[in-house]
Structure 1
């Protein structure tokens, strides 16, 4: 992984560890044991598994290699809670995580407490290798932040199959808003540098920093909204093959897509299921839960295109990190897109770029080298973060990635075009 040339001081690493772990517990606090077992599809995992897997990560990559005679509460947890790290040993089938009723929730909480206490003891005693351990703690915290986002989106998907459509958060209505005009900002392009500069934490896939040529382009000052999307739908956008990639239209036809995930029509109004339960679609909030195929079709219908990830990074690299992102423990945040013109938060924005290695990319040795490199095929890059992305995780170079057909994450889009 690309960790900082100057790792966090030990005290700062432990502060980050404490706050990150507390946020996970805060996210799980409103849930009953049955909620924590939900696994609605292979792509999603139960809340209980997320809490245990993020704990296994610290145990496997920090405690076991560095604590003499370290004893896990249960050696079988390594099999149950490994995800895809083949070099770390065998693992339970991904699509059967929801069938692991035992260990129960209390045992997982005890497991978390055991690892937290063990790590605190290690950090307080560490001397010569404290920088190395602090860097791994920082990595483990960012890994857990990624799973916090997955935790809430996987939970949303699971709860959506409940005919009672329960609310995870209080069902506060969105304020009445006015339509935000769609405007574009021009950028001259030229030979630019993108990628992480080595200052502070980043994942390995964010580097090395390298040069890219960009032709002049313009990019929208806000994401595509639900109001925009309804216009696309009412114009027959889902059925007009002129706007669709062949593969995308085949998937949309097979899956019966006629609107974003979680939408339905009720009393001549569009409704959607959210973490706050069922609510009318907020017309001026960014559209969310759309696939790359749908995003690309919309852009073509609008006479535009999706930006490349380099265009997105160059356009917004000076914009301060803020906006509608997940907050700290005790103030988790809105957990839904909000109207406005921000770039950070609300929805991850599909780009036209493949998730591929940057020139000169080399994955680290060992199991941690499997973190990103093995996924660099058949996926698309998204930029900008979402309402479920912890603010502490965001950087202007952060690239996430999903398959073009996936919709259950907080996925939206922003338009771009070629400039004269």
Structure 2
């Protein structure tokens, strides 16, 4: 569905669209929490992550706050747990010590909240208030749940024990031999959006931005290419690392991407409980910003800026227009991108030719989040909505922007304008990268 089509939907069509999105998110939340027993649900598998049962009840708490209480004007169900499930009140490492709802109580709570939220969806006018215009609040809550589903998927990757999640393998590479890099023309383009119905505050407003011509990797950096950096001593040579990155690497004894291990016959990794040889043509994943930055320096390149990434993903030189997605304005299909936990790994480089951008850049959506060199700030004219804590409180040099989504990102929570961010040390997230370089004077036609 294009932005224009979404904007022209009637109230009942909007309700149906919101209901479908909420239902799909809840089915995924249930699958992720039903995959393990109650002991696993309440256990903290890493101090970097919450217990799965906290995420589940937090999803319900946010839905209650925004859809039941705010949009619906209904009486609170569980005001006594508001503080427990306020993500800003308690660090992840401290959450197991809180009086959390148990698995059965959490499941009952989210079911009751959802029943009331659907009742609100059937009755509330979808106009006259910015929060409900074009069902925005329901889209916001859907994206919040899907984001926590991806967080829970990352917790599954950190848990010990036998595999409990299963999915078919992604498609093979279909594009044949691809060029290593493509030229993205310089000039102005429209970055961000003022029209996307469910776009979040940091994606807004649309604005013109000019970038110089640059070369962009055709696909994300693969595990095979990254292994060459490892085997060439890249983690032992300070020359490739920024001072902050080298201090981080040495302080933490980091010698490879997270979950990788060198065996006599090469590099292996653990993936959702399966110990396997790395797949050479698959995008590397579970690397920090600092590792990505060091690889780029070793390769004689750099990480792209956020603006370069978005121009690669959205700009159509033939029309001068910015698309919603690299392939056009239609919603992602299975032929376009590896999204929605359809597969439990990135797809090989070149697996989605139908998802390529007009300039020939592949796999910008799905597979792995891609680190950019840009710190998180608001766009010119930014205004927080509907609350500062969604993104404004994170603005500053501490956070780096990631783009594009991963195999664990749902289509409801990604688009060409969507912005993610994290600390540059983060490695448990499904993050990889691609590199770029400036175009020389003789390379621009």
Q: TM-score, normalised by structure 1?
A: 0.88
C-alpha distance in 2 between matches for 1:184 and 1:177: 17
Residues 1:10 and 2:18 are matched in the alignment: no
The match for 1:333 among 309, 325, 342 is 342
The match for 2:282 among 257, 281, 285 is 285
Native 8 Å contact 1:180 1:284 kept in 2: no
In the other structure, the counterpart of 1:137 is: 138
Q: 1:136 to 1:68 in 2, by over 3 A?
A: closer
Note the aligned Cα RMSD (angstroms). 2.5
C-alpha distance in 2 between matches for 1:118 and 1:173: 38
Give the aligned length: 399
The match for 1:401 among 399, 411, 421 is 421
In the other structure, the counterpart of 1:88 is: none
Residues 1:255 and 2:252 are matched in the alignment: yes
Q: 1:293 to 1:102 in 2, by over 3 A?
A: closer
In the other structure, the counterpart of 2:156 is: 155
Matched ranges for 1:292-371 at <5 A? 292-317=289-314, 318=323, 319-320=326-327, 321-322=332-333, 323-327=336-340, 332-341=341-350, 342-364=363-385, 368-371=387-390
Deviation string, structure 1 residues 240-270 (Cα, Å, up to 9, x no partner): 1111100100100011111100011234221
Native 8 Å contact 2:84 2:99 kept in 1: no
Report SS of the residue matched to 2:256.
coil
Q: 1:185 to 1:5 in 2, by over 3 A?
A: same
C-alpha distance in 1 between matches for 2:170 and 2:127: 50
- Unmatched 5+ stretches in structure 1: 85-90
Report SS of the residue matched to 1:304.
coil
Q: 1:306 to 1:66 in 2, by over 3 A?
A: closer
In the other structure, the counterpart of 1:59 is: 64
Q: 1:415 to 1:70 in 2, by over 3 A?
A: same
Q: 1:127 to 1:306 in 2, by over 3 A?
A: closer
C-alpha distance in 2 between matches for 1:21 and 1:128: 22
Native 8 Å contact 1:182 1:222 kept in 2: no
In the other structure, the counterpart of 2:391 is: 372
In the other structure, the counterpart of 1:168 is: 164
Native 8 Å contact 2:57 2:101 kept in 1: no
Q: 1:397 to 1:127 in 2, by over 3 A?
A: closer
Q: 1:128 to 1:166 in 2, by over 3 A?
A: closer
Native 8 Å contact 1:326 1:388 kept in 2: yes
In the other structure, the counterpart of 2:33 is: 28
Q: 1:146 to 1:66 in 2, by over 3 A?
A: closer
Shift of 1:37: 2.1
